[in-house]
Chain A
């Protein structure tokens, strides 16, 4: 029993890191611009499909494919900002709600576009190390989980370094904490928000690949991932990077530990229940001070 628990804890933490990286970019945009980007996880699924194509066409390892995917998705993020978000901010009264509708539209567009190109069925990312595992003190760590978690850890680390130790990153945080004040200090809001979208969507591409290493996916999977993202962001507090990381670990733990005490199908139910409970008790986030 003890081994099972330890195994579940380890798996939970690894999965949690992967979830966390999916959530940080979403949280970043919500925090800085008030936009609830439903399409965030659809971008992740798109990255998963593209890495699948890369591995099928050129035999490229999905992690290596990120060298091309990250810049590409950074550009997609900037384009998203320039084409949609700017217009929306000008034209709508309540950006939070309006953004949920039109990014839902975007997500639906992307989902069906992917279904059109790659079909609606489930896909699996097969790599040289899929199925392999490291065994340690009676527990086994699948390599895919380990790599997914490492990707997550690296991305969150880079984001942290960017936000806290570089000048543009500090500008993003300034905008996040006090928009008008930041503008008064001469921070070019427009370029900072564009940068934020680029970084956010780029992180979604890493998350998509990390998730795809562990889970099978379909174009419609974005909805399932999105619920996890919401859960993490709401537990961690909107706009909090470290909150999202910690909440990701919690969610990973809850989902892997709950398998020990209840049938697998009810795991998601437990997570959804947790989400609603947190919303009702502390809408500003459990981990936020």
Chain B
């Protein structure tokens, strides 16, 4: 595994500098773009702990995002508590849901687990659409944040930057700790991992809870920023796909990979959406996902890091083999 000791100094230095950016009075457009970038990056970095390190592919993390948004949104509507303060509660609610989902389903492996994660998104959407508490199909309107537009942009910008920083620190810690070791050997071979004493189920559950917690917090902040929640876009599969794409594109073996992927994907997305429209942009992302999986399985970050020798015995026999 790669370890240039100074990598993280650069990364956190840049992030801290970005924290000071609002002093330079940038346009709301710039703040808004970076806000989206940081939100997605934080979720992709967190997703990668289970999906990248652990190899348990989830398309369901948007459920945790939506849960965080709705739980904190409801606390704002009913009790007047600001989601910026209750965000950790949103994260906890998401982690609790992750526990409920993960406890039975993390025993499943491979495609079976992934299928369940897709289904949880659809279930969450149906439930929220049909429960009066959440405003159902009308959506949930929240009071607007009490600041002028620019201050508001700065506050949300700083909030997601903090979340990104926290997610990165968490992922970096996991990668170098015993925890990360365990997740990587689970990805390589779960039975062989058990044979050396790795409590696979507990580690997977831990990874799921951590990543759900971060996604829930991002959801809380994001929901408040929108001031209006609707199941159609709080429980949409697209953000899940984006998280996966960012992590895989950047490189799933390294805590920095998803951040690199997020920067690349968000800039491309912005340019494409402006110049060719949403549908064409999403078509291109579909293609990109194919290309990354087939030709860049270790992500762009592997291009910069010392090259690993090619994998032995990875070549198949021409046609698809199970």
| Interaction A to B | yes
CA distance A272 to B117 in the complex (A): 11
In the complex, are the beta carbons of A85 and B320 less than 8 A apart? yes
Stretch at the interface among A69-77, A94-102, A125-133, A200-208: A94-102
Contact with A along B73-116 (1 / 0, CB 8 A): 00000000000000000000000000000001101101110111
In the complex, are the beta carbons of B129 and A269 less than 8 A apart? no
CA distance A11 to B122 in the complex (A): 25
Hey, which chain A residues are within 8 Å of B283, CB to CB?
Answer: 108-109, 112-113, 116
Q: Cβ of A163 < 8 Å from any Cβ of B?
A: no
Hey, which chain A residues are within 8 Å of B130, CB to CB?
Answer: 265-266
**Given the known A-B contacts A33-B322, A86-B319, are A108 and B105 also in contact in the complex, defined by CB atoms under 8 Å?**
no
In the complex, are the beta carbons of A33 and B320 less than 8 A apart? yes
Contact with B along A272-289 (1 / 0, CB 8 A): 110110011001000000
B149 to chain A: closest CB distance in Å? 30
A residues contacting the other copy or chain, number (CB 8 A): 55
Q: Cβ of A216 < 8 Å from any Cβ of B?
A: no
Q: List 25 A-B contacts (CB under 8 A).
A: A34-B320, A86-B318, A88-B293, A90-B315, A94-B110, A96-B322, A97-B111, A97-B114, A98-B293, A98-B297, A101-B244, A101-B289, A102-B294, A104-B241, A107-B286, A108-B241, A108-B286, A111-B282, A116-B280, A193-B319, A223-B118, A234-B115, A265-B129, A268-B122, A272-B122
Contact with B along A239-266 (1 / 0, CB 8 A): 0000000000000000000000000011
Interface residues of A (CB under 8 A from B): 33-36, 81, 84-98, 100-102, 104-113, 115-116, 179, 189-190, 193, 223-224, 227, 230, 234, 265-266, 268-269, 272-273, 275-276, 279-280, 283
Q: Cβ of B192 < 8 Å from any Cβ of A?
A: no
In the complex, are the beta carbons of A272 and B115 less than 8 A apart? no
Hey, which chain A residues are within 8 Å of B59, CB to CB?
Answer: 104
In the complex, are the beta carbons of B288 and A105 less than 8 A apart? yes
In the complex, are the beta carbons of B318 and A276 less than 8 A apart? no
In the complex, are the beta carbons of A92 and B115 less than 8 A apart? no
State the majority secondary structure of interface residues on A.
helix
CA distance A116 to B282 in the complex (A): 10
Known contacts A89-B321, A100-B57, A266-B130; 12 additional CB pairs below 8 A are A33-B320, A91-B297, A91-B314, A102-B289, A102-B290, A108-B241, A108-B286, A109-B282, A112-B279, A189-B318, A268-B122, A272-B126
Give B127's nearest chain A residue, CB to CB: A269
CA distance A2 to B139 in the complex (A): 39
Give A113's nearest chain B residue, CB to CB: B283
**Given the known A-B contacts A90-B316, A112-B280, are A275 and B119 also in contact in the complex, defined by CB atoms under 8 Å?**
yes
Q: Cβ of B66 < 8 Å from any Cβ of A?
A: no
In the complex, are the beta carbons of B126 and A269 less than 8 A apart? yes
Hey, which chain B residues are within 8 Å of A85, CB to CB?
Answer: 320
Residue from A92, A93, A112, A265 within 8 A of B286 (CB atoms): A112
**Given the known A-B contacts A112-B283, A227-B119, A279-B112, are A101 and B293 also in contact in the complex, defined by CB atoms under 8 Å?**
yes
Hey, which chain A residues are within 8 Å of B104, CB to CB?
Answer: 276, 280
CA distance A234 to B294 in the complex (A): 27
